Amino acid sequence: MIKRDLIKSYAKINLSLDVLGRYKNNLHKIQSIISYINLHDKISIRSIKKPNHIIKFNGPFSKNLKNNTISKLLNILEKKNLIKKKYKIETRKNIPQKSGLGGGSMNAASILSYFIKKNIISISKNEIIKICNQIGSDVFLGLDRKNSILASNKKIKKYKTKIGLFVVLMKPKVGCSTKEIYRRVKKFSKKRIKISSKIFNVDSLKTEKNDLEEPAFSLYPNLRKLKIFLSNTDQVKFVRMTGSGSTIVAYFSNKKSAINALKLAKKNFKNYWSILSKTI
């Protein structure tokens, strides 16, 4: 039997997100502070002697994933003649869809990184970037799982700095449409992030924001209520929506405070998905 490999595909969080304007192609110009948490999808991968790839999903967030990033990645690699074999890839989806946690993008990034590290494919950095951009704008971030700053010029600076925060994540059943959220952005930020590892200090992170919160809150008022509730929990450092939502993240320096906040939030928002995690 051919050996299968196991991959952990970690959730991405935006500690901040500023919308600075639009490019000529009408896409939004953003800057963001990015980290990862130990919540992850579990991916099993092995080569098979079949005429087609086999892509399967299971787990709590596995519904309606036919048009997925994994199939998209394999199709691109085949068209470029970079992979010769067929693969069976099974993914347990623990990261909610439309949550702002980059689950699908990180799946594609994790598998592409696996192919590169195993020397299954050999390509230049420029070609890697092109492949990532064909799948999703944030796929490239997940190839090297480090705290990062995505600057306004699209350059990414990565750091080995550890944040060491416990996080409470909460999400209502509704998922946010990224396209619709960005469409509602009316004001642009002028502030530029200072490219430095000091930005990952808690006191610095507390001063940051997510420009997509107000558009999201106007569409989904319950997200505002959730943020206000978590912001009033004991010893919380700051609370912020990640990406375009709909997950609201509360940050704590100690585990006990995070656990207490999670218990309170579960009592008040019984039908919401909620979990305790930690930055990695």
Tell me if residue 266 is catalytic.
Answer: no
Q: Does the domain formed by 161-278 have CATH 3.10.310.30?
A: no
For 120-145, the pLDDT digits (tens) are 999 999 999 999 999 998 999 999 99
Q: Looking at the whole model, is its pTM more than 0.85?
A: yes
- 2 has pLDDT over 70: no
For 50-64, the pLDDT digits (tens) are 999 999 999 999 988
In this predicted structure, what is the pLDDT of residue 3?
Answer: 83
**Domain edges within the chain:** 5-156, 161-278
Q: Which of 93, 138, 171, 227 is catalytic?
A: 138
Q: Which residues pair with 24 in a beta bridge?
A: none
**Average pLDDT estimate for 28-49:** 96
For 64-114, the pLDDT digits (tens) are 877 799 999 999 999 999 999 999 999 999 999 999 999 999 999 999 999
Tell me if residue 203 is catalytic.
Answer: no
In this predicted structure, what is the pLDDT of residue 1?
Answer: 52
CA distances from 68 to 75, 108, 131 (A): 11, 9, 15
Q: Which of 12, 93, 98, 171 is catalytic?
A: 12
User: Are residues 34 and 13 in contact, defined by beta-carbon separation less than 8 angstroms?
Assistant: yes
**Architecture of the domain defined by 5-156:** 2-Layer Sandwich (3.30)
